[in-house]
Amino acid sequence: MNNPFYRVLIIIIISCALSQLVFVQLDSGLLKFNCFTNEKLTEMLVKPTEYKLITLGSSRSLSHVNPAVLDSVLKIKTYNAGIAGANIYEIKTVFNAYLNVRKTAPEFVVLNIDRRTLSNLQKFYNNTIYYPYLNNVVIDSTLKEIGIKTYLYRYMPFVQLFEYDDYMRNIGIQGHKNKNEINVENTYYHGFMSLAKTKVFHLKSDDKLEFDNLVTNEGINHLVEILNTCTQKGIKLIFVFAPELHAGNYPINKSLFTIDSIAKIHHLDILRFDNLDSIYTAKNFADKRHLNGLGADRFSLHLAQSLAPIIKLAK
């Protein structure tokens, strides 16, 4: 054992083993804490459960559209596939990965467009949530496309530790303390999780309501790819713009202008719920961008009623 090569090799093996042990413990804590997110991604990216209608978008889809309300009004099976922080690239990836594990495509896709959706400045809001789902070929190939060495994560999972920041390490520890991302006031069902019903946003005089409002050509191209996929698979695509607090005070909505133009060219339905300040007041918002639980209940019913004639006509 005097050979330096063997000593170095043993040190490397021991280091890898200890790193893997730390990773397994931390990862199991993350899975416990992110119980809702992992259950949702498993349903979307692994299980072949079929739904007639799915909603796509960012947190303004995730926390705004309650499938329980849509199911009740529309009399079809629906699922909320919104992902927190997602822009159009991530939305396209999730949509394709969802289709990849199903024999039959949904009949309807409701795509919620926000002011940030078409910016495409950041590929994934949090790419680490997809690492447990590398067996989905769309997830695997897309992560490779942006430079992530997925083969390392398959065969040396502990390498993921280099991507864990203080927040992730903290919630990994919290998971082992039986804490998770679901609060007692959250309502959740079929991929939907509301914000607290009692949380009300109080606008201060010095608060600024301006949102990021950037549209890129790359973002538009990803949107067109979603449109083309829907056309090829016979899916009816419906654009939605959810309520905003005091929408009239914002700069011109470039995203809304863009999808409005695309909808006219391709004869798509677009449901707009902006500029409804008399209906969606501050008491319906948890923060500047998101409806609270009561606001989500109201919007889900409003959306379902608006979708009903479109779906009836398509049958």
Q: What's the rounded mean pLDDT across residues 182-209?
A: 76
* Whether pLDDT at 143 is above 90: yes
The answer to whether residue 178 is domain-embedded is no
Q: What's the rounded mean pLDDT across residues 246-270?
A: 77
Number of folded domains that form the chain: 1
CATH code assigned at 238: 3.40.50.1110
* Whether pLDDT at 246 is above 80: no
The answer to whether residue 102 is domain-embedded is yes
The answer to whether residue 159 is domain-embedded is no
Using CA atoms, how far residue 181 sits from 36, 187, 194, 199, in Å, is 7, 12, 12, 16
pLDDT tens-digit series, residues 91-133: 999 999 999 999 999 999 999 988 888 887 778 998 999 999 9
Q: Note down the domain range covering 279.
A: 36-146+183-314
- Which residue type, as a one-letter code, is found at position 53? L
pTM of the model: 0.90
Confidence of residue 208 (pLDDT cuts 50, 70, 90): low
The answer to whether residue 142 is domain-embedded is yes
The answer to whether residue 26 is domain-embedded is no
